Amino acid sequence: MSAPLKETAAQGAGVPAQRTASRTPARPGERRGEGVVLNAFSHGFLALWALLIILPLLWLVFSSFRSDAQIGGSAFGWPQAWSFDVFRRAWNKGIGDYFLNTVIVLVFSVPLTMLFGSMAAYVLARYRFWGNRVVYYFFVAGAMFPVFLALVPLFFMVKRLDMLNTYQGLILVYVAYSMPFTVFFMHAFFRTLPTAVFEASVLDGASHTRTFFQVMLPMAKPGLISVGIFNTLGQWNQFILPTVLMQPQSGSDPERYVLTQGLIQLQQQQGYASDLPVLFAGVTLAMIPMLVVYLSFQRQVQAGLTSATLK
Amino acid sequence: MRTGQHRFVAGFLLVPVALYLIFVIWPYIQTFGYSLTDWKGQSQTFKFVGLDNYKALIHDDVFMEAIWHNILFLIFIPVITILLALFFAFMVNAGGRSKAGGVQGVAGSKFYKIVYFFPQVLSLAIVAVLFNAVYRSDGGGLLNGVLIKIHLVDPNNPVEWLNEPNMVLWALLAAVVWHGVGFYLVLFSAAMQSIPRDVYEAALIDGASRNQSFFRITLPLLWDTVQTAWVYLGIVAMDMFVLVSSMTQNMGAYGGGPDHHSDVMSTVMMRNFEYFGKSGYACAMGVVMLLLTLVLSVVMLRATRRDRVEF
């Protein structure tokens, strides 16, 4: 599903352009008039919305250079000095730690999600055994339920495992909650792979495990990329799970906030401390990696997220 | 060979199923049990109280109002987002200048897609901080600042977007739409481009106008995608935790203000769980959230059911 989507996305404005080919040039004048009006109209609306997206973001970045008094006084106004010191302060105020915590968690949780999700999806898609359908639906059904249904017992479960406010706790929970979608998507993907390659590999004497890791998994790369992007963004932006699971448990327990949680924390602190530039600088820093990754892999990100939804 | 295969299947399923059971399925099941107790969370003892929590819920004005807010979001978020996204998708794909009497996508359609989609990769935490700055209740907020500049708002009496009872839900709604439209634009665009050209050509030969081909061909063939979009936006509307908890006045904790006018089920539930320590009661809310989600998905699927068009 992901591959054809990527192709169509690459075609740009394919369909309607083609409509023109067969159009008889019976009333060219009238057609052109209609097109020009529609063109101006659509450009107007499209440009307006683009501005509504870009301007607030730019304004926020710009505001981090202004002083707190300026920010409170008026929405507009030139910064008194273009000092990048505010970014250093934001980094030291916690953004640096929040970044680090998020990266530590995701470095483990995303690969583990992909590994375990693919393993389960693979055996469910390619092997016949008793209970196959049951296990499959058991995984997929999880996607139907709101996470809020599980929150209270989940908190006490993680507490009993002594993993509250630990990286490993959050990693395991992220992996578990990413299973339904990963299994669902990779299951569909493994089903589309040709059987012949699998059989050839088995005939050559490769074990099942080896066939999976050296033959099937490499063939599933496009699917892995789509789900990988989806999971990375989802886990990077996750808020409710860390809010419940990553609170310091005692005075000596250090903060291990992830980025989303940390930003909201910073918003409260900086509001009281009357130092909003630091908050805005923090948000700017948090946006930079997303912007860089998005602009570099924009087509993969769009295709990854949308094809993932369409499944 | 057979036993080897079984061992392989079991080995591959063991870890994913175990993680999923411990952190997802078991807490889901426990929630139902705890919802029938007067459990206070920190204490280990609790007693069975039957349906008392559910009876209390019915008389809990805050929770009932929260359900109503979720329903409002459930109606307006999908409708506004989908209409805007369809409109933009149509503009991007068919709103272009005529060339030789024809129709095509607008120039720069790729640019628009890149810009519109960008908010989707930002976390809701970033969106919350951004819109808090935009909605500031003094002249320093972007929205008030702009409205003061064009003399629509009195500089001495700026609008308190997030503190007005009949404004706060719309302010939150605007942030959600801002975040989501681009994603659905790309989704609909991809679906529009996968509609085969000969369908349009046939319609043209039959003399269909641009509007007719949109309403009679594009829209019906897009229906599956619109339905998917509706389900996903419905999930967003049932959640709303991040924005409400971090943008609105705290009603003790987790936002909801002014005077519970923006409370949603998720924030009321989290407040009861973490702030009031009423775990059993919070579990009952979780169950109600699940039931409402299920009822609404059934209603939605029934209401939007059409004969599927294969192409």
pTM for the structure as a whole: 0.88
| A 172-191 near B (Cβ less than 8 A) | 172-173, 175-177, 179-180, 183
The residues that bridge with A225 in the sheet, in sequence order, are none
**All structural domains of chain A:** 85-310 (1.10.3720.10)
3-state DSSP assignment of residue B256: strand
How do the pLDDT tens digits run along chain B, 311 residues long?
A: 466 788 899 999 999 999 999 999 999 999 999 999 988 876 677 888 889 999 999 999 999 999 999 999 999 999 999 999 998 988 888 765 544 334 566 777 888 889 999 999 999 999 999 999 999 988 888 999 999 989 888 888 888 999 999 999 999 999 999 999 999 999 998 888 888 878 877 887 888 877 787 888 888 888 888 988 988 899 899 999 999 999 998 888 898 889 999 999 999 999 999 899 899 999 999 999 999 988 888 887 787 776 666 66
Pick B194 or A107 by higher pLDDT: A107
Q: Would the CB atoms of B189 and A9 count as touching at under 8 Å?
A: yes
Average pLDDT over residues A196-206: 85
Q: Does residue A24 carry a pLDDT above 50?
A: no
A92 to chain B, minimum CA–CA distance in Å? 19
At residue A205 the predicted structure's pLDDT band, cuts being 50, 70 and 90, is confident
The pLDDT value given to residue A20 = 41
User: Are the C-beta atoms of B87 and B116 separated by less than 8 Å?
Assistant: no
Q: Which residues of B touch A56 (CB under 8 A)?
A: 130, 134, 142
Whether the CB-CB separation of B121 and A35 falls below 8 Å is answered with no
Percentages helix, strand, coil for chain B (3-state, rounded to 5) are 70, 0, 30
- Reported as a single tens digit per residue, the pLDDT across A217-266 is 999 998 898 899 889 999 999 999 999 999 988 888 888 999 999 999 99
Per-residue confidence (pLDDT) for residue A26, from 0 to 100: 43
CA distance B194 to chain A (A): 7
Residues of A within 8 A of B25 (CB-CB) are 138, 142
The whole-number average pLDDT for the span A260-274 is: 86
The tokens for B56 are 């209390």
Residue of chain A with shortest Cα separation from B158: A74
Instruction: Judge whether B92 and B185 are in contact, CB under 8 Å.
Output: yes
* Interval A159-164 mean pLDDT: 93
Q: Is the peptide bond before B220 cis (omega within 30 degrees of 0)?
A: no
Of all residues in chain A, the percent with pLDDT exceeding 90 is: 49
* Confidence label for A179 from pLDDT (cuts 50, 70 and 90): very high
Distance from CA of B299 to the nearest CA of A (A): 15
ipTM: 0.89
Distance from CA of B218 to the nearest CA of A (A): 11
CB contact under 8 A, A122 and B12: yes
Pairwise CA distance, residues B108 & A172, whole Å: 43
Q: Lowest mean pLDDT of A35-49, A151-165, A195-209, B81-95, name the range.
A: A35-49
Per-residue confidence (pLDDT) for residue A34, from 0 to 100: 57
Range A166-187 average pLDDT: 94
What are the Cα distances from residue A30, in Å, to A17, A35, B100, B101, B256?
A: 18, 9, 12, 8, 55
Q: What percent of chain A has pLDDT over 70?
A: 86
Domains of chain B: 51-303 (1.10.3720.10)
A157 touches chain B (CB under 8 A): yes
pLDDT at position B63: 95
Helix locations, B122-196, DSSP H: 124-134, 142-149, 168-193
* C-beta of residue B279 within 8 angstroms of C-beta of residue B39: yes
Q: Which residues pair with B37 in a beta bridge?
A: B48
> Cα-atom radius of gyration of chain A, to the nearest Å?
25
CB contact under 8 A, A152 and B120: no
- Work out the pLDDT band at A44, boundaries 50, 70, 90: confident
Give the pLDDT confidence of A81-95 residue by residue, as tens digits. 788 899 999 999 889
Average pLDDT over residues A61-70: 88
Structure tokens at B164: 């007005």
Instruction: Say whether residue B155 is in contact with chain A using an 8 A CB cutoff.
Output: no
The pLDDT confidence band at residue A2, using thresholds 50, 70 and 90, is very low
**B140: CB partners within 8 A, 6+ apart:** A71, A72, A73, A74, A75
Residues of chain B with C-beta less than 8 angstroms from the C-beta of A63:
133
Q: Which of B112, B121, B139 faces A290 most closely, judged by CB atoms? A: B121
Write the pLDDT tens digit of every residue in A7-17.
Answer: 333 333 334 44
- pLDDT for residue A309: 63
Q: Which of residues 97-126 of B touch A (CB under 8 A)?
A: 97-106, 109-126
Taking the alpha carbons at both ends of chain B, their separation in whole angstroms is 43
A126 in contact with chain B, both atoms CB, cutoff 8 A: no
- Residue A42 has a pLDDT of 74
On the question of pLDDT at A306 being above 70, the answer is yes
Q: Which two tokens stand for residue A272?
A: 């009281």
Would the pLDDT of A18 be above 80?
no
Q: Specify the pLDDT at position B100.
A: 39
Residue B258 φ/ψ region, left for φ over 0, alpha for ψ in the -120 to 50 degree band, beta for the rest:
beta
Task: Please compute Rg for chain B using Cα positions.
Answer: 25
Predicted pLDDT at B307: 64
Pairwise CA distance, residues B130 & A286, whole Å: 12
